[in-house]
Structure 1
Amino acid sequence: MRVTPQPVRRQVEERLREAIITSRFMPGEHLSDRMLGDVFGVSRGVIREAVRLLEAEGLIKVVPNRGPFVAFLSAAEATQVYEVRAVLEALAGQGFAERASTEEIAELREVFEELAATRPGTDRMVLLNLKRRFYGVMLRGCRNAYVARMLDQLLNRNSQLRATTLSDPKRLPQTIAEIRRIVEAIERRDPGAAWAACREHVHQAAQVALRILNQQARDEAAQGLEVALD
């Protein structure tokens, strides 16, 4: 079977998205055409097209006369993202409980057991990759292409917050317990319980993420005051 190579622009788009999601490029970092061209080894035209597409996803913000930057997620924006994510994730869990194959349910359990075996202090990218695998199985098995597409984009949008909350030693055991309830509801083929467990998981994640964002805002405000008083 012949494998058709992806267009260069698509490859750059995916690699740039991955670099932002995994915090290789941090919020607020300037993504100049020259720097990205050197990193990915492509022309500025290809870079600009990839940037335009990721701007539409909310991962990049283009500032007039300054260029593209990795987008920040404010507390207000995060609140909206988590509200929508809660509904989409609940739909995915419900659909998975109703329509996933026995093999897919076993695969979901296998990924969960890998996550459950981790301990506080585990590298946050390891944790994030496990969560991405978990959602990959769920989105495939829920058999709803619209939910899968929209939820995947939202998870990309707040991936850096997810990595931060997952690496919190106090949050990790809670995350594992919440996901265990999701998996057990799915294994019982209980769509209502899967819906409720998914919504509760997102609700708890939102509380942690918003606490982090609000603390960051307070710290930045305090630093600004210190500079003003110097």
Structure 2
Amino acid sequence: MRWPPPISHRHCLLLVFVVGLCSIPGSFSSRLVTLDTIDIFTTHEWFPSKPTVYFHCNGDNKTNLPDVKEANSIYTFKGEESWQPLTELPEKKCKRCGLYEEDTFKPDDVFDEWELCSSDFKDGKYTHFKEDQFNATFLCPNCTASVGDSRADESSTEVETKKTSVLVIIIVSVLASVIVIIALFGGYKYWQKRKRERDQARFLKLFEEGDDIEDQLGLSNEL
């Protein structure tokens, strides 16, 4: 009986590397974009025929949407169709994509062209609307806003919080200053009132003491 050859040290290291790489979240995550729903509002055909609508990104092959044949009709897809996915997005760059209608005797009609980015997807969903042309929803479960965008949002939130705190401090300081000024003015007026009362009491006391001195000297009887 022949035993299988022993696994070499090099093979062990390679196996450990592959397992470790696979265990890293998102290491092999693909940003595949699929079409969820679409509703075209118009067709560009001059004659009453079914249009040929397709999606295309720069650097990719165009993807025909065989079911989209009528305007003002919402088409829903499962993401498992033979022509799916539409494209794959890079992590930090956008793709120039568009929705078009194929023509035979003239250049293809353009529903719209735009920059499709991974950061456009919120919770894996992105909706693109072009007035009088179409409304479409795209899915990309592994597409999320970039770390830079989230940090920018957090920074803007912190700035707004700091501005609010500074405004509250200024308002409280102004109110405290007004209260202190009112209290000082009230205290000054009270001090003036008490001073007048003391002066009046002192004057009356002096007047009464003068009368007592006259009584003692008998000046009042002589007069």
Band of TM-score, shorter chain: under 0.3
Indicate the structure (1 or 2) with the bigger Cα radius of gyration. Answer: 2
Q: Which has the higher contact order (CA 8 A, sep 6+)?
A: 1
Say which structure is richer in strand.
Answer: 2
Tell me the TM-score normalized by structure 2. 0.22
